[in-house]
Amino acid sequence: DVNVIWTHPKPEERHLNLEWIGDSYTNDLMAALDDCQEISLGPVKACLETVELPTEPVNAEEYRQTAAKLLEKLPNEFEKLIVYIHDRMLEMAILADQGHDFRVLRDLQVFRMGDLEISALPGEPFLAVGEEIRAASTAKFPIAVSVANGDAGYYPTREMFDQYPNIWCCDNFGAFGFYEVWFGPGLLRPKFQPQIVEYLVSNILRLGKKLS
């Protein structure tokens, strides 16, 4: 995933940085090949399990009140984002009034080929999440990846939840961590509970042990 959004101040010129970003990746890969060792690629095993991710309850009136207060932040450099989240929160309030099922059911997957193990999370976990999975895996060569199918959005670490305890604690609506914690409604998804990372890691490791 080569994301150039932060690499250039002019959006229309960000693509110019793709070449050197790509070169950096491929140069690292070629350098690593000099010291690589052969690994086993068999037998092949896989495990998939649908789980309910821990989310906060959706209260229609609270969502309407929050949506109204968001508009009070205008004008703002994040106007498009604020208006978008406002609209989605009102939409979720209407759905809640109608008894909509807001449970977030997603597939966790582990794929093992001999020494190689791939743990797949449906969404966008922080780097620390993948590193924790890799460190605790029993596989010789573990890899943690994010997949787009069933995307549930961002999975912030507990530190991010502690840093941004409420939606009004930060005026920078694009701040790293704040956006990921509070703007789940952009996907018509309730806010995750602070233990979301612990939940994901423990369950993906549990699936991995089934393949050991």
Read off the pLDDT of residues 117-144 as tens digits, 9 standing for 90 and up.
999 999 999 888 999 999 999 999 999 9
* pLDDT classification of 148: cutoffs 50, 70, 90: confident
Query: Is the same domain home to 30 and 64?
Result: no
Query: Is the same domain home to 22 and 103?
Result: no
CB atoms within 10 A of CB 187: 14
Q: How far apart are CA 96 and CA 92, in angstroms?
A: 6
Query: Is the same domain home to 64 and 112?
Result: yes
Domain range for residue 175? 39-210
CB atoms within 10 A of CB 45: 14
Query: Is the same domain home to 77 and 136?
Result: yes
pLDDT of residue 149: 83
Q: Which residue has the tokens 């952009």?
A: 186
Q: What's the predicted TM-score (pTM) here?
A: 0.84
For residue 56, which of 94, 97, 104, 89 has the smallest C-alpha distance?
Answer: 104
Q: How far apart are CA 185 and CA 88, in angstroms?
A: 6
Which spans in the chain are helix H? 18-33, 60-71, 79-97, 127-136, 158-163, 178-182, 196-210
pLDDT of residue 4: 59
Query: Is the same domain home to 181 and 202?
Result: yes
| Total count of domains within the chain | 2
Query: Is the same domain home to 122 and 186?
Result: yes
Most confident of 5-9, 39-43, 56-60, 125-129: 56-60
Helix, strand, or coil (residue 168): coil
Residue 112 pLDDT more than 90? yes
Return the amino acid letter for 134: R
